[in-house]
Amino acid sequence: MARRVYSEPGDRIVSRDPVEVKRYGGLTRLNHWVTAITLILLALSGFAFFDPSLYWLSGLFGGGETTRWLHPFIGIVLFLSFMLLFLQLWRYNIMRREDLVWLSNFRDVVSGHEERLPELGKYNFGQKFVFWAMFWLILVLIISGVMIWYQFFPDLVSVETRRIALLTHSVSAVLIILTLILHIFAAFWTRGTLQAMVSGRVTGGWAWRHHRKWLRELARRQRADPAE
């Protein structure tokens, strides 16, 4: 059986006072923020078609026609960008037994008694849930999006199938926006987390408190090879 790994090759403990831990490299952060910006642009342009009361949002993109033309292309950028992120991170988002224990003791997470919870790898259940929800929803959005991209693929599917694809696209869009709200809320609620995606580093205390198994693995790795 393949050995479980909790840390990416670039993760490392930086010997400073206070100790810092490198969590994301520059390219991964760039990749994340491109993904984030494209999803927000898609939500804004998509809402313009969602209901006539929101049509004014198309003004942000230069009017209805440009918005309709632009939206699918931004969708392709989101898909490619997320897949790039996915390829880097999927391994560390595999659900483990300790994640279910963490979930069943969610009350301790909310009340700040994390010492009662199992030690975790790079991500917790909530982060993994968001990761996989975004993966599946983006897949459904891109497939249903191509089906309703009348301008380029007018004969791809029948009218009935296109109607179902449109409904699927709208429902998935609402679900991914809810997932994004959860993701942003968690990033702000857990103090010190935003820093991971801004500077790429977290404090040793943050890593010890929230992702101790990941930190222990880094310490072991660096003890075995101090030059790493």
As a whole number of angstroms, the distance between CA 38 and CA 173 comes to: 13
DSSP 151: T
Walk across the sheet containing 20-22 and list its strands: 12-14, 20-22, 201-203
As a whole number of angstroms, the distance between CA 225 and CA 217 comes to: 12
Query: Under rule CB under 6 A, which residues in 189-208 are in contact with ligand HEM?
Result: 193-194, 196-197
Query: Under rule CB under 6 A, which residues in 41-80 are in contact with ligand HEM?
Result: none
Quick check: 142 binds ligand HEM (CB under 6 A)? no
Rank residues 35 and 67 by Cβ distance to ligand HEM and give the closer one. Answer: 35
Quick check: 139 binds ligand HEM (CB under 6 A)? no
**Size of site (CB under 6 A) for ligand HEM:** 22
Min separation Cβ 156 and ligand HEM, Å: 25
The shares of helix, strand and coil residues in the chain, as percent rounded to the nearest 5, are 70, 5, 25
Classify the phi-psi angles of 201: left when phi > 0, otherwise alpha if psi is within -120 to 50, otherwise beta. Answer: beta
SS3 14: strand
Give just the sign of the alpha carbon dihedral 27, 32, 38, 40: negative
- Both tokens of residue 175? 């679900």
* The one catalytic residue among 71, 169, 183, 211: 183
Length of the chain: 228
Quick check: 183 binds ligand HEM (CB under 6 A)? yes
Rank residues 25 and 164 by Cβ distance to ligand HEM and give the closer one. Answer: 25
As a whole number of angstroms, the distance between CA 127 and CA 19 comes to: 24
Quick check: 23 binds ligand HEM (CB under 6 A)? yes
Rank residues 162 and 183 by Cβ distance to ligand HEM and give the closer one. Answer: 183
As a whole number of angstroms, the distance between CA 94 and CA 132 comes to: 9
Min separation Cβ 16 and ligand HEM, Å: 19
**Residue 210 annotated in active site:** no
As a whole number of angstroms, the distance between CA 7 and CA 221 comes to: 10
Query: Under rule CB under 6 A, which residues in 79-98 are in contact with ligand HEM?
Result: 82, 85, 89, 93
Rank residues 6 and 123 by Cβ distance to ligand HEM and give the closer one. Answer: 123
Binder among 106, 184, 192, 205 for ligand HEM (CB under 6 A): 184
Give the residue numbers annotated as catalytic, written as ranges.
183
The residues that touch ligand HEM, with contacts defined as CB under 6 A, are 23, 32, 35-36, 39, 82, 85, 89, 93, 123, 127-128, 131, 134, 180, 183-184, 187, 193-194, 196-197
